[in-house]
C-alpha cells in the first residue's frame, strides 16, 4: 500500500539514514534484554528451519543405499526435535518482540506528546490538530508494524542465506542458476511499484471525491429534503461512485497482476532446475534427496523475496513515520523562560515596552508598541480584524514569543517568571470557549487545584446565575459533548466565566464572542462580566456595545498602533476613528437602530 496526503510539514527535517537508525536503536536500548532474546532466538530458529529440509534430503538420499531402520529413526527424531525447537524459539522470539515493541511505541508516544504539549501556540497555528494526532498515534503504530515486518523479513532472509550456503556446498552450479532469478525478480517488482503507486493515488482520489460528495449531501440533507432534491443528489452520487469503481478496478487489476508475473519467473526457474538438475541426476553427479532439496528450496527462497518486494513501500512508510515522530520530538519549543521567579499574588500592572512582535518573518504585528495598564484597570481593545487585538492578549498569556522590547508585569519581565505559576494568575476566556467532553462541573473546576474548587454552584451563581443548568438533562452532571456542543455559545461563555472565577486570577483576558447570543443569555453574560472584572486587571477584546460603554479605558488599535484612547464618551466626542467604528459596528446593537428598523 502506498500512503498519500502526508506532505512535508514545517517541522519536518531530513534525518541522515545513519542518524535515523541510531535514533531508532536508542529507543530500543532500554529493552536490550528483550531484543537480545529476539536476536538470539531468531538466529537459532532460522538455523533449525533451514536444517529440516537438509536432514530430509539426507534421509531420502540414504534410502538408495542404506536400509538400517535405526539410522532413519535417528534422522526422524532429529527432524522432530528441530521442529519443536523451532516452534518454541519462534514463540519466545515473537513474545519478546511484542514486549519490546509495545514499550518502544509507548515511549515514542510519550515523548512526542510531551514535546507537543510544551510547544507554544505558534506551533499549533501552523500544524492542524488532526495531523499532529495522526503523527503521534498512527505513525508510531506504523513504525511498530514496520519493525515487526523487518523482524519477519530478517528471519526469512536468514533462512534463505543459510539455505544458499547449504545448497552451495551441494552443487554450486545449480545454486547459481537459482540465484540468477533474484535480480530478475527485483527488476520486475521495482518496475511495478511505480505503476502501482500512480494507480493507488488515482484510486484514493476517486474515493476521496465519493467521500466529499457524500459528506456534502448528508450535511445538506435537510435542505435537500425540504426542496425535494433527492434525485439530483442521487444522480450525482451515482456518477462519482461509478467513477471510483472504474478507477479502483483498474488499480486492483494492476496491483494483482504482479503476483502471477512473478509466478511465471518462478515457473521458468523451476523448469531450468529440472532440466539441469535432472541431467546431473541421470549422470549420478547429484543424488535424489539433494535434487529434491533444490526443488523444495525454491519456495523458501522466493518467499522472502516476495515479502520484501510487496512490503517495500510499507517498510519505507514505516521509516518515514519514524522520521516524522522524531522530528516532532526534536523540535524545540519557542517560548523559553530565562528564570523561574514564582510570583506572589500579582497586582496586575502590565507594561508593554517598545514591543516588537511578528507571527511570520517580515510581517510585523507590533513595531515599537508601548502601553501601560494600571492594576485593577478595565481596558477594552477595539479595532478591525488584523489590528493586533488578539495578539496583545496572547502575548500577555505568553502563548507566543516576542522578538523585541519587553512585557513587564508587576515590574518583572514575563520571561523571568515561572511559566506555570505565572499562567495560574491569568484567566482567559477565548472567543469560542473550549469545553471538554466532560460534565459541566468538571469543566468549571478544570484548572483549579484548591479546596475552593468545590464551589462550582456559587461560581456559576456569580457568573449570571446557575439555574439554567437545571434545564440540562442531568444538571451539573450533564456531559456537554465534544467541545461543549450540547451548550449554546452563550452558555459556553457562562461556563468559561465560572471557570475563571474559580481560578480567581489577577489578570483577566476576555475575547468577546462575535456570534450573536440569545438575548436572555446575553443579559446574564453582562452580569457575569461585571462581577468577573471587579478587582482585577481586565483586558477585553470588545465586540459588545455594553462592554465598551462600561470599561475604564478604550484603546483603538490599527495596524499594531494605538490611534485613539479614552472612555466611550470622550472618544465619541472626538468624532474620530472610534466614532466611525461605533457607527458601523456597534450601532446595530443600539436602541435607536432597533426602533428605526422596526418602523421602515
Partner 1 sequence: MAKKSDTLLETQLSEFSPGKDPFEKSRRKGVSSWILSHIFYRSNKAFILIILFTTILASILASIISVIIGLAIEEFLNANLSSLIIFTIIILTLGLITPIFRLINFMQRELLAQRLERDTRKEFYTNLLGKSQSFHDKQKIGDLMARVTDDVRMLNFLMSPAISLILESFTSLIIPLFFIIFLYPLELVLEPIIFTFLFLITLRSYNRKLSPVTGKLRMNFGMINATLNEALSGIEVVKGSTKELYELNKYLNYAEKYRDAYIEQGKIQAKYLPILYLALIITIGFTHSLILYLNGMISIGQIISYLALLGLLRFPTFISIFVFAIIKLAGSSAQRLLELMNQSTEINENPEGIKKDLEGSIVFDQVSFKYPGSDKYVLKNISFEVRPGQTVAIVGTTGSGKTTLTKLISRLYDVSEGKILVDNIDIRDYSLKSLRDQISYIEQDVFLFSFSLFDNITFGRTSVLEEVINAANQAQAHEFISDLAKGYESEIGERGVQLSGGERQRIAIARAFLSNPRLLILDDSTSAIDSNTEDKIQYAIKNILKNRTTFLITHRLSQIRWANLIIVLKNGEISAKGTHEELLKTSGEYRKIFVKKFDLNEERLIKGEI
Regarding 344 and contact with partner 1 (CB under 8 A), the answer is: no
Strand 426-429 relative to strand 507-511, pairing: parallel
The Cα–Cα gap between 255 and 204 comes to: 14
Strand 363-373 relative to strand 350-360, pairing: antiparallel
- Which residues, numbered 437-496, are part of the site for partner 1 (CB under 8 A)? 437, 446-448, 468, 471-473, 482-483, 487-491
Sheet holding 363-373, edge to edge: 363-373, 350-360, 404-409, 412-413
Regarding 43 and contact with partner 1 (CB under 8 A), the answer is: no
- For partner 1, which residue of 5, 18, 194, 520 counts as binding (CB under 8 A)? 520
Q: Which is nearer to partner 1, 63 or 187 (CB)?
A: 63
Q: What are phi and psi of 190, to 5 degrees?
A: -70, -40
Regarding 554 and contact with partner 1 (CB under 8 A), the answer is: no
The conformation of residue 118, written as its DSSP 8-state character, comes to: T
How near is the Cβ of 21 to partner 1 at its closest, in Å? 23
Regarding 230 and contact with partner 1 (CB under 8 A), the answer is: yes
Regarding 98 and contact with partner 1 (CB under 8 A), the answer is: yes
Regarding 24 and contact with partner 1 (CB under 8 A), the answer is: no
Beta-bridge partners for 404:
356
The Cα–Cα gap between 299 and 507 comes to: 73
Cell of 213: 460528495
Place of cell 459596528: 585
How near is the Cβ of 57 to partner 1 at its closest, in Å? 10
Number of other CB atoms surrounding residue 260 within 10 Å: 9
Regarding 270 and contact with partner 1 (CB under 8 A), the answer is: yes
Regarding 420 and contact with partner 1 (CB under 8 A), the answer is: yes
- Exposure of 58 in the CB half-sphere (CA atoms within 13 A): 13
The Cα–Cα gap between 314 and 476 comes to: 49
Q: In a 10 Å sphere around its CB, with 0-12 CB exposed, 13-18 middle and 19+ buried, how is residue 69 labelled? A: exposed
Q: Which is nearer to partner 1, 15 or 48 (CB)?
A: 48
Regarding 8 and contact with partner 1 (CB under 8 A), the answer is: no
- For partner 1, which residue of 42, 59, 371, 548 counts as binding (CB under 8 A)? 59
3-state secondary structure of 510: strand
The Cα–Cα gap between 56 and 51 comes to: 9
Regarding 386 and contact with partner 1 (CB under 8 A), the answer is: no
Q: Interacting stretch for partner 1, rule CB under 8 A, among 134-142, 153-161, 162-170, 365-373? A: 134-142
- For partner 1, which residue of 24, 97, 146, 460 counts as binding (CB under 8 A)? 97
How near is the Cβ of 584 to partner 1 at its closest, in Å? 5
Cell of 283: 549422470
How near is the Cβ of 400 to partner 1 at its closest, in Å? 11
Regarding 71 and contact with partner 1 (CB under 8 A), the answer is: no
Number of residues located near partner 1, criterion CB under 8 A = 166
Q: Interacting stretch for partner 1, rule CB under 8 A, among 150-158, 320-328, 341-349, 518-526? A: 518-526
How near is the Cβ of 482 to partner 1 at its closest, in Å? 8
Regarding 572 and contact with partner 1 (CB under 8 A), the answer is: no
**Per-residue CA distances from 50 to 43, 54, 154 (Å):** 11, 7, 14
- For partner 1, which residue of 43, 150, 229, 337 counts as binding (CB under 8 A)? 229
- For partner 1, which residue of 10, 226, 338, 451 counts as binding (CB under 8 A)? 226
**Inter-axis angle of helices 69-117 and 17-28, to 10 degrees?**
100
Regarding 163 and contact with partner 1 (CB under 8 A), the answer is: no
How near is the Cβ of 19 to partner 1 at its closest, in Å? 26
How near is the Cβ of 159 to partner 1 at its closest, in Å? 14
How near is the Cβ of 120 to partner 1 at its closest, in Å? 8
Q: Which is nearer to partner 1, 274 or 563 (CB)?
A: 274
- For partner 1, which residue of 4, 187, 190, 212 counts as binding (CB under 8 A)? 212
- Which residues, numbered 245-264, are part of the site for partner 1 (CB under 8 A)? 245, 248-249, 252-253, 256-257, 259-261, 263-264
Regarding 296 and contact with partner 1 (CB under 8 A), the answer is: yes
Regarding 241 and contact with partner 1 (CB under 8 A), the answer is: yes
Cell of 405: 522590547
Regarding 114 and contact with partner 1 (CB under 8 A), the answer is: yes
Regarding 399 and contact with partner 1 (CB under 8 A), the answer is: yes
Q: Which residues of 268-306 are buried (b: 16+ CB within 10 A; e: fewer)?
A: ebbeebeebbeebbeeeebbebbbbbbeebeebbbebbb
The Cα–Cα gap between 503 and 506 comes to: 9
- For partner 1, which residue of 188, 214, 308, 572 counts as binding (CB under 8 A)? 214
Regarding 84 and contact with partner 1 (CB under 8 A), the answer is: yes
CB 484 within 8 A of CB 434: yes
Q: Which is nearer to partner 1, 199 or 364 (CB)?
A: 199
Give the closest residue to 192 by CA, choosing from 258, 249, 256.
Answer: 258
Regarding 591 and contact with partner 1 (CB under 8 A), the answer is: yes
- Which residues, numbered 529-548, are part of the site for partner 1 (CB under 8 A)? 543, 545-546
Q: Helices in 171-229 by DSSP H: which ranges?
A: 172-219, 221-226
Regarding 217 and contact with partner 1 (CB under 8 A), the answer is: yes
How near is the Cβ of 266 to partner 1 at its closest, in Å? 7
Regarding 278 and contact with partner 1 (CB under 8 A), the answer is: yes
- For partner 1, which residue of 141, 353, 553, 561 counts as binding (CB under 8 A)? 141
The Cα–Cα gap between 101 and 144 comes to: 6
Place of cell 473546576: 445
Q: Is 5 left (phi over 0), alpha (psi -120 to 50) or beta?
A: left
Regarding 295 and contact with partner 1 (CB under 8 A), the answer is: yes
The Cα–Cα gap between 277 and 47 comes to: 25
Q: Is 104 left (phi over 0), alpha (psi -120 to 50) or beta?
A: alpha
Amino acid at each position: 500500500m502506498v500512503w498519500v496526503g502526508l506532505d512535508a510539514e514545517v517541522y519536518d527535517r531530513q534525518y541522515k539514514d545513519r542518524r535515523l537508525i541510531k535514533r531508532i536503536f536508542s529507543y530500543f536500548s532500554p529493552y536490550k534484554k528483550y531484543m537480545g532474546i529476539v536476536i538470539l532466538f531468531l538466529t537459532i530458529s532460522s538455523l533449525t528451519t533451514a536444517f529440516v529440509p537438509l536432514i530430509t534430503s539426507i534421509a531420502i538420499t540414504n534410502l538408495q543405499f542404506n536400509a538400517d531402520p535405526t539410522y532413519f529413526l535417528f534422522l526422524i527424531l532429529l527432524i522432530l526435535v528441530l521442529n519443536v525447537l523451532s516452534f518454541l524459539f519462534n514463540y519466545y522470539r515473537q513474545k519478546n518482540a511484542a514486549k519490546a515493541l509495545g514499550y518502544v511505541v509507548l515511549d515514542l508516544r510519550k515523548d512526542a506528546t510531551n514535546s507537543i504539549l510544551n510547544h507554544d501556540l505558534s506551533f499549533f497555528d501552523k500544524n492542524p490538530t488532526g495531523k499532529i494526532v495522526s503523527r503521534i498515534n498512527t505513525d508510531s503504530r506504523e513504525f511498530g508494524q514496520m519493525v515487526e515486518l523487518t523482524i519477519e523479513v530478517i528471519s526469512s532472509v536468514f533462512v534463505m542465506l543459510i539455505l544458499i550456503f547449504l545448497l552451495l556446498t551441494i552443487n554450486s552450479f545449480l545454486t547459481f542458476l537459482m540465484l540468477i532469478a533474484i535480480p530478475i525478480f527485483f527488476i520486475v517488482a521495482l518496475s511495478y511499484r511505480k505503476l502501482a503507486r500512480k494507480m493507488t493515488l488515482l484510486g484514493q482520489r476517486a474515493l476521496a471525491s465519493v467521500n466529499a460528495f457524500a459528506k456534502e449531501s448528508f450535511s445538506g440533507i435537510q435542505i435537500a429534503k425540504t426542496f425535494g432534491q433527492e434525485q439530483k443528489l442521487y444522480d450525482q452520487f451515482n456518477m462519482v461512485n461509478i467513477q471510483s469503481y472504474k478507477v479502483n478496478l483498474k488499480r486492483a487489476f494492476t496491483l494483482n497482476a504482479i503476483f502471477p508475473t512473478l509466478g511465471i519467473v518462478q515457473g521458468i526457474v523451476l523448469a531450468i532446475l529440472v532440466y539441469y538438475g535432472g541431467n546431473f541426476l541421470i549422470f549420478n553427479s547429484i543424488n535424489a534427496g539433494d535434487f529434491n532439496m533444490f526443488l523444495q528450496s525454491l519456495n523458501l527462497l522466493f518467499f522472502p523475496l516476495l515479502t520484501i518486494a510487496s512490503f517495500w513501500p510499507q517498510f519505507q512508510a514505516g521509516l518515514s513515520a519514524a522520521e516524522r515522530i522524531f522530528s516532532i520530538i526534536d523540535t524545540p519549543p519557542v517560548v523559553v523562560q530565562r528564570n523561574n521567579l514564582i510570583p506572589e499574588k500579582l497586582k496586575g500592572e502590565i507594561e508593554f515596552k517598545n514591543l516588537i512582535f511578528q507571527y511570520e518573518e517580515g510581517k510585523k504585528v507590533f513595531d515599537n508598541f508601548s502601553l501601560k495598564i494600571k492594576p485593577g484597570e478595565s481596558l477594552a481593545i477595539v479595532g478591525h480584524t488584523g489590528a493586533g487585538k488578539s495578539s496583545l492578549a496572547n502575548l500577555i498569556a505568553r502563548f507566543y514569543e516576542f522578538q523585541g522590547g519587553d512585557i513587564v508585569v508587576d515590574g518583572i519581565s514575563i520571561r523571568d517568571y515561572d511559566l506555570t505559576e505565572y499562567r495560574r494568575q491569568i484567566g482567559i476566556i477565548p472567543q469560542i470557549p473550549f469545553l471538554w467532553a466532560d460534565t459541566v462541573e468538571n469543566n468549571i473546576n478544570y484548572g483549579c487545584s484548591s479546596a475552593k474548587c468545590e464551589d462550582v454552584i456559587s461560581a456559576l451563581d456569580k457568573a449570571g446565575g446557575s439555574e439554567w443548568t437545571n434545564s440540562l438533562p442531568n444538571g451539573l452532571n450533564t456531559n456537554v459533548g465534544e467541545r461543549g456542543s450540547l451548550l449554546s455559545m452563550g452558555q459556553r461563555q457562562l461556563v468559561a466565566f465560572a471557570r475563571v472565577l474559580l481560578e480567581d486570577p489577577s489578570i483577566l483576558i476576555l475575547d468577546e464572542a462575535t456570534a450573536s447570543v440569545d438575548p436572555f443569555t446575553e443579559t446574564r453574560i453582562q452580569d457575569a462580566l461585571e462581577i468577573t472584572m471587579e478587582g482585577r486587571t481586565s483586558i477585553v477584546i470588545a465586540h459588545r456595545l455594553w462592554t465598551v460603554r462600561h470599561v475604564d479605558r478604550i484603546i483603538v488599535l490599527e495596524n499594531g498602533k494605538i490611534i485613539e484612547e479614552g472612555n466611550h464618551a470622550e472618544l465619541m466626542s472626538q468624532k474620530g476613528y472610534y466614532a466611525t467604528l461605533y457607527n458601523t459596528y456597534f450601532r446595530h446593537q443600539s436602541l435607536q437602530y432597533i426602533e428605526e428598523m422596526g418602523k421602515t
